[in-house]
Amino acid sequence: MVTEQFSEEAKWFLNNLQLIQDDFAKSVGGQIVTTDKDGNLETKMSGAQRVCKLIMGTEKGKEKCGEAYKTALSLVKSMKEAAFMDCHAGYASLWVPIKVKGEIVGSITGCGGRYDRGESDEELKEKYSKLADELGITDKEDFLKAAVDEISPVSEEEMKERSGRLAKLVGVLAEETALKEVFGI
């Protein structure tokens, strides 16, 4: 992302989008990033969770996150609506399309929480212990603390509410001119 070439209006939009994204990530305890329609970053990651950093710290984790990202972005493009799913690690994720005149120009991606499926702590520890093995994470105890103890349960309804709020915030903030410039349409 080369912001130096943007107009003052587009720079203002991106700066304020980043601030809103940072504040929103902090308030919901999740991580959020905004991309263009090709998946290129338009903002910096806000609220990166420790467990995700540990997962992305492995080659296999990066690969699996990349695959999940491409699948979800493709789904959002075809559905033209927000998508909710588990990431490969079992955490709740949301994908909110950014539209201009019905055309998808980008998306807001959020992760945070774990869908509550009634799993006990022991079941979760077993599940994430297997994931640690698959990814080659050596400090299992630290990973389990991050994966189980630091991530709160969330409902799909809460994720839908979050996506609606995010879409409204971006819509209020953005003027069509800035959107066109930032997202290259």
Q: State CA 163 to chain mean position distance.
A: 11
Q: Kindly report the pTM of this predicted structure.
A: 0.77
Helix/strand/coil for 177: helix
| Higher per-residue confidence, 14 vs 179 | 14
Q: Grade residue 66 by pLDDT with cuts at 50, 70 and 90.
A: confident
Q: How far apart are CA 114 and CA 112, in angstroms?
A: 7
What is the DSSP-derived secondary structure letter of residue 128?
Answer: H
Residue-level length of the chain? 185
Beta strands across the sheet bearing 103-111:
31-36, 103-111, 92-100, 83-86
pLDDT, averaged across the chain: 84
Tell me the average pLDDT across 10-14. 85
pLDDT tens figures, 114-157? 888 889 999 999 999 999 999 999 999 999 999 999 988 888 88
Label residue 177 by pLDDT band (50, 70, 90): low
Check residue 129 and give its pLDDT: 97
Residue with the bigger pLDDT between 162 and 174: it is 162
Residues 67-101 have pLDDT tens digits of 877 777 788 878 888 888 888 898 888 888 887 77
**CB-based contacts of 98, cutoff 8 Å, min separation 6:** 34, 104, 105, 106, 107, 108, 167, 170, 179, 183
Best CA proximity match to 91, nearest among 180, 8, 23, 29: 29
The token pair at 160 is 């839908």
